[in-house]
């Protein structure tokens, strides 16, 4: 359940513009999908309606139709950065990182706002692309971006991805200096320590994180991983179970418990 792209990445706007209908008219209502498709067909240049339809498909796991909806909108108007942002998110969630990067690059080229830059730089970092550092530096220089913690975090992700764990930890520490409640930075710092087999040190980082945010399910999950490495099975089980309290669909935590012989 580790979020591969920090920020997760900019969710679609949930635009609920439907008017309350008369209860007596319920049986006459068109199914939501048909209505959304009809609305987009009638107003093909309405960004809100296109987002609503793409979101509907996305919620149902139909990424093929969601992406097709956005692609059609881009053919009508390729100058809207928001469409490229939506396309990037959909491709990323559908497992196509290269297409996601390409779409974010388009969004940034059109409107170089911090949110798009952060998303693109995050994917660059995770794919070992040095341009992540360039974009992170740009965020630091641009005082209006207000993205200092994100810039340091992105640098940490990059150095972690290329195996320079100590450099990565230094940047995660920088991010935490800026924002002491930055949960993703705690997670990534702990993982960098874990990768160096410093399990107790990683555990201490995660324990601090869950003290600051007691519903941080990933913190408990990775605590469990550390406990397993330290041969503390009961503590590991308790950590995985706690993760599931806050995230009942946490697949990795369920699998970890199963591997330890705990029935769900």
State residue 79 phi and psi, 5-degree precision: -95, 0
Question: Could you tell me if residue 195 is inside a domain?
Answer: no
Question: Could you tell me if residue 24 is inside a domain?
Answer: no
Among 14-23, 194-203, 222-231, 236-245, name the one with the lowest average pLDDT.
14-23
Total number of domains in the chain: 2
Last residue of a domain, one of 86, 111, 136: 111
Q: What is the mean pLDDT of residues 242-250?
A: 97
Q: What is the mean pLDDT of residues 176-182?
A: 97
Last residue of a domain, one of 48, 77, 111: 111
The confidence band for 14, taking pLDDT boundaries of 50, 70 and 90, is very low
Give DSSP secondary structure letters for 92-160: HHTT-HHHHHHHHHHHHHH---HHHHHHHHHHHHHTT-THHHHHHHHHHH-GGG--HHHHHHHHHHHHH
CATH number at residue 243: 1.25.40.10
49-93, pLDDT tens digit by residue?
A: 999 999 999 999 999 999 999 999 999 999 999 999 999 999 999
Q: Which domain holds residue 234?
A: 205-264
Torsion of CA 236, 242, 244, 246, to 10 degrees: -150
**Residue 106 shares a structural domain with residue 211:** no
Is there a contact between 115 and 144 (Cβ–Cβ < 8 Å)? no
> How far is 166 from 24, CA to CA, in rounded Å?
65
pTM of whole model > 0.75? yes
> How far is 131 from 226, CA to CA, in rounded Å?
32
């Amino acid at each position: 359940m580790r979020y591969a792209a920090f920020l997760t990445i900019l969710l679609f706007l949930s635009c609920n513009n439907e008017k309350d209908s008369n209860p007596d008219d319920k049986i006459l209502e068109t199914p939501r999908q048909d209505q959304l498709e009809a609305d987009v067909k009638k107003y093909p240049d309405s960004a809100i309606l296109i987002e609503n339809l793409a979101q509907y498909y996305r919620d149902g796991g139909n990424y093929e139709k969601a992406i097709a909806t956005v692609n059609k909108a881009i053919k009508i108007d390729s100058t809207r950065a928001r469409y490229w942002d939506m396309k990037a998110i959909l491709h990323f969630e559908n497992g196509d990182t290269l297409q996601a990067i390409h779409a974010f690059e388009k969004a940034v080229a059109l409107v170089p706002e911090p949110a798009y830059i952060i998303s693109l730089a995050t994917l660059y970092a995770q794919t070992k692309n040095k341009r992540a550092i360039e974009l992170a530096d740009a965020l630091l220089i641009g005082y209006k971006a207000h993205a200092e913690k994100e810039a340091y975090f992105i640098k940490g992700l990059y150095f972690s991805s290329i195996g320079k764990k100590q450099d990565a930890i230094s940047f995660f520490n920088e991010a935490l200096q800026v924002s002491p409640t930055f949960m993703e930075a705690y997670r990534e710092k702990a993982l960098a320590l874990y990768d160096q087999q410093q399990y107790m040190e990683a555990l201490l980082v995660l324990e601090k994180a869950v003290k600051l945010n007691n519903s941080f399910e990933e913190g408990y999950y990775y605590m469990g991983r550390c406990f397993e490495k330290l041969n503390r099975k009961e503590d590991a089980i308790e950590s995985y179970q706690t993760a599931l309290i806050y995230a009942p669909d946490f697949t990795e935590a369920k699998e970890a418990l199963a591997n330890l012989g705990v029935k769900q």
